[in-house]
Structure 1
């Protein structure tokens, strides 16, 4: 992996675009504790000063904080963790094997405090009738502000194909009172439009009240503008 990545980064055709590390699967799965591939990848990013974004549900990323810090002093680094609920019994059902929500938030606090990375909390998906309560959303927004994160990014759930059957099996077993309502809201496979509108209306009101940004790209845009300005000043 590292060799292939270095060939790409060393290519004269490489533009230095932001690389989303682990966009499809978590880069800090349990096997990473033994394999230690991420430190090699991060050292490569440092050598080429290549900007990155990364999101994880693991606190193992703290192991590499010094490398993330070094890279963040050279270029853009975006660090996020998915936190969908502060209710630990619910979390254990919908995110089995992941680190506790509070542990992930504390990890993000360390990155916000000790690096120059842009730090975000990703609450995706918000699950209707399970994690969509005002109490849960407020707790997540307040936690985002309290740890010093730069933004909070919520998102909704789509249910199509095999995912739908697996999801409803889990709901039937663990949240039976929500099954009928979820079946109505996802009759088409997509979240009901009116429910979605009301959810985002509530989210806008809560984030405005607590002064928390949901603009995932704002800091990246600022960095891109600053980088362009620096390049132009060289001519």
Structure 2
């Protein structure tokens, strides 16, 4: 059964989102202690609040539809409806298009990490991450970025490559929508670098990188940077080495 924060009205469809200074979060995890810890963490901060919590994916989906939060912290393995299935439901519903999902996992090399990203997750965090890292994850994703470090994206690429033959970029007609510079930028995004880091590598301004990233996202219908990473991996548009 899901539980709503009594201080948050049922009809709050994101009105108090990041633009208003408060990031509304739904926590979905079957472990009571995990939910309690995240609840305490979120309620202790001025810019985050718990909109609702649930112990399984089905109740979690009910809570997400009722509250339409900014962020969902979603466990991958749960009863009734697993996190991947719930994630796909969220990304498939137009009314939830602004809801960002961060997957919670126990292991960095969780076999479902790539599937989570492919399904529309904006990133993932370890359940035993320090509090400051969990809060950083929520804030970064709420600001429109993806939570993908270079080490994580490298593992994603390696995991994908070990299971499937890496295709040739020429095999993906979607790439024809991108300029050469946009392709290069997307390939750099797939390394997990930030805009500032990419700008330093290419000796351009961060604003230029942001512009290319935004245009690529529009052309590829990508929800966020995480989806650009998935596209780059699936299309073979990655940097060597």
TM-score range, shorter chain: 0.3 to 0.5
TM-score by length of 1: 0.36
Q: Which of the pair is proportionally richer in helix?
A: 1
